[in-house]
Amino acid sequence: MKTTSVATAYQIAPRTEKVTIESHVNSEVDEEPPGKRVVIHKVEEEEPPSSNATGRNRLFRHVPDTAWSDWKWHFRNRITTVDQLSRLVPLSTEEQAQIQLVTRRYPLSITPYYLSLIDPGDPDDPISKQAIPSIMELTMGSLGLEDPLGEKEDSVVPGLVHRYPDRALMVLTDICPMLCRHCTRKREWRHGGWVRPDDEIEAILGYLRCNRQIRDVILSGGDPLTLSTQQLERIIARIREIKHIEIIRIGSRFPVVLPQRIDAELCAMLSKYGPIWLNTHFNHPREITAESAAACDRLLRAGVPVNNQSVLLKGINDNAETILKLCHGLLKIKVRPYYLFQCDEVQGTEHLRTPVETGIKIIEGMRGYTSGLAIPTFVVDLVQSGGKVPLQPNYVLSMSENELLLKNYEGQIFRYRNPSVPVQSEAAAPVSGHVESLLAENSRPAEDKGEVNADRVILRS
């Protein structure tokens, strides 16, 4: 049930006032042009997660509670054809023909639960835009790359991407309960549903065993929670046998698109093999429902911390107001906003991509106006296996050996003394005295003192 009380949500207003420059600051520093930054004002209270009962009653009233709360029922009853979709969502004949065309290249799959979140009265509905194919997937399809992140090149054995020294990503399946229109692995959709066969899992485990620098394994897909709990347990238990693997991460959108999957059986299994972290993928505050909140709560109670990785999407969440509301909503359900990704340069997603400046401005509009805990890191994942690059507003106007000129969130500019470390100075004396007394306590012979001082210089240079 939605509340009508008023107090703390936020809206963005263009910055119109002049940026204040502290009088002690060098006047040569350029002022920020008015209107460039955004300011967030508190205007009304954020709503608690609401149930999707309205959508369910409208579309799936006939479905008994036992089926609705069973993830396998949702999975079996995914909407995968234009015929099915047009019976549930108002679509013109032209729209149906366009979707039919798109699905020949990029298939359609929506869970009944996620479909029930769509507001049929909103032509810009953010849920609908993530789930229902758009003709622009084809008309703008010449832009972008099939595999912009170069995941194929980084595959060391089939199904294992090893790009960073201490982490490796296992692709267990290409099946997802919902096919998100902005997906980076859209290229995989045409190959039908598959689950990684046992012999390839064995080869992956062999690689992990032999590469002792890998301490973090990410289970990915598709969505790895598509596998049965028993299948997953077999894999997770084998990974846990490898002593140098410290943590396991699961990348899954199930808490958002089919939260019923996070059931007692799954949580009991995961709780046996910690530390396991789960990264999920909320993109819009409307996705935070009583059901998704309960799924995250079940994971947390099973000892599985939940982080969120959003993708910045045009017309869906590309403004500070929406991202702030999303991040506050996530914190309220104890999910940490972790990354905000620039939408990858993937063929068939160009219509959802935003200029990079949009992401930077969103972070600028949040920083200082809410707790750092609510602010995700905005990142671009580079093409050709370049990896992630964090981007943020530029707060450093100049930097020298002695001083930085820094801009705060309100555009005010400050000098900041840059501490330098003298090689030999009075400031070093107490430290050297402390080092010598420590050494003396450890009965170091007197004749070694010169050596001790030499060590100190090396340490501090």
Looking at the annotation, which residues are catalytic? 163-164, 167, 176, 180, 183, 185, 344, 381, 388
As measured in angstroms, the least distance from the Cβ of 196 to ligand SF4 is: 15
Closer CB to ligand SF4, residue 49 or residue 255?
255
Least distance from ligand SF4 to the Cβ atom of residue 348, Å: 12
Residues 8 and 42 sit within 8 Å (Cβ to Cβ): yes
Residue 443: left if φ>0, alpha if ψ -120 to 50, beta else—which one? left
User: How far is CA 369 from its chain centroid?
Assistant: 21
Q: Which two structure tokens, joined as six digits, stand for 140?
A: 């703008």
Least Cβ distance, residue 413 to ligand SF4 (angstroms): 41
Which range binds ligand SF4 by CB under 6 A, 59-67, 79-87, 173-181, 315-323? Answer: 173-181
**DSSP code of residue 370:** B
Shortest distance, position 179 Cβ to ligand SF4, whole Å: 5
Site membership for ligand SF4, residue 253 (CB under 6 A): yes
Residue 151 token pair: 């995941």
120 DSSP 8-state letter: T
**Please, which residue, 10 or 341, has the CB nearer to ligand SF4?**
341
**Comparison of 173 and 319: residue with beta carbon closer to ligand SF4:** 173
Phi, psi dihedrals of residue 448, rounded to the nearest 5° = -90, 0
Size of the site for ligand SF4 (CB under 6 A): 9
Q: Measured between alpha carbons, how far is 384 from 447 in angstroms, rounded to an integer?
A: 57
DSSP letter, residue 317? T
The distance of closest approach from Cβ of residue 263 to ligand SF4 in the complex, given in angstroms and rounded to an integer, is 18
**Applying CB under 6 A, which part among 85-93, 204-212, 220-228, 394-402 lies near ligand SF4?**
220-228
**Shortest separation between residue 18's beta carbon and ligand SF4, angstroms:** 43
**Residue among 185, 187, 249, 325 that touches ligand SF4 (CB under 6 A):** 185
Binding mask 79-118 for ligand SF4 (x = CB under 6 A): ----------------------------------------
CA distances from 61 to 67, 118, 178 (A): 11, 15, 21
Decide: 126 and 159 in contact? Cβ < 8 Å.
Answer: no
Nearer to ligand SF4, 287 or 321 (CB): 287
Q: Please say which residue, 98 or 226, places its beta carbon nearer to ligand SF4.
A: 226
Q: Closest by alpha carbon to 258, among 201, 178, 330, 327?
A: 178
Q: Which is nearer to ligand SF4, 376 or 411 (CB)?
A: 376
Q: Which stretch binds ligand SF4 (CB under 6 A): 70-78, 216-224, 290-298, 409-417?
A: 216-224
Beta carbon of residue 217, minimum distance to ligand SF4 (angstroms, whole number): 17
| Secondary structure element (H or E) that encloses residue 308, with its range | strand 306-312
CA distances for 290 relative to 49, 331, 433, angstroms: 5, 14, 61
For helices 198-210 and 229-240, the axis angle rounded to 10 degrees is 20
Taking contact as CB under 6 A, which single stretch among the options 25-33, 174-182, 230-238, 272-280 is the one that binds ligand SF4? 174-182
Please report how close the Cβ of residue 320 comes to ligand SF4 at its closest, in angstroms.
23
* Rounded Cα distance, 380 and 223, in Å: 22
Can residue 180 be called a binding residue for ligand SF4 (CB under 6 A)? yes
Q: Is the dihedral of CA 54, 60, 62, 68 positive or negative?
A: negative
CB 356 within 8 A of CB 348: no
Task: Give yes or no for residue 132 binding ligand SF4 (CB under 6 A).
Answer: no
Q: What angle do CA 287, 235, 159 make, to 5 degrees?
A: 80
Q: By CB under 6 A, which span of 150-158, 218-226, 419-427, 436-444 interacts with ligand SF4?
A: 218-226
DSSP output for 144-189: SBSSTT-TTTTEEETTEE--STTEEEEE-BS--SS--TT-TTGGGG
Told to check if 223 binds ligand SF4 by CB under 6 A, we report yes
Quick one: 168 or 343, whose CB is closer to ligand SF4? 343
Whether 281 contacts 310, CB under 8 Å:
yes
Binder to ligand SF4 among 9, 117, 176, 352 (CB under 6 A)?
Answer: 176
Q: What HEC string does 332-365 produce?
A: HCCCEEEEEEECCCECCCHHHCCCHHHHHHHHHH
131 contributes a contact to ligand SF4 by CB under 6 A: no
Burial track 96-119 (b if 16+ CB lie within 10 A, e otherwise): eebbeebbeebbbbbbbbbbbbbe
Comparing CB distances to ligand SF4, the nearer of 187 and 325 is: 187
Residue 404: CB atoms within 10 Å: 15
Q: Does 179 participate in binding ligand SF4 (rule CB under 6 A)?
A: yes
Residue span binding ligand SF4 (CB under 6 A) among the ranges 100-108, 177-185, 294-302, 355-363 = 177-185
Does position 183 interact with ligand SF4 (CB under 6 A)? The reply is yes
Q: Please report how close the Cβ of residue 249 comes to ligand SF4 at its closest, in angstroms.
A: 14
Name which of 222 and 411 has its Cβ closer to ligand SF4.
Answer: 222
Which residues are at the interface with ligand SF4 (CB under 6 A)? Answer: 176, 179-180, 183, 185, 221-223, 253
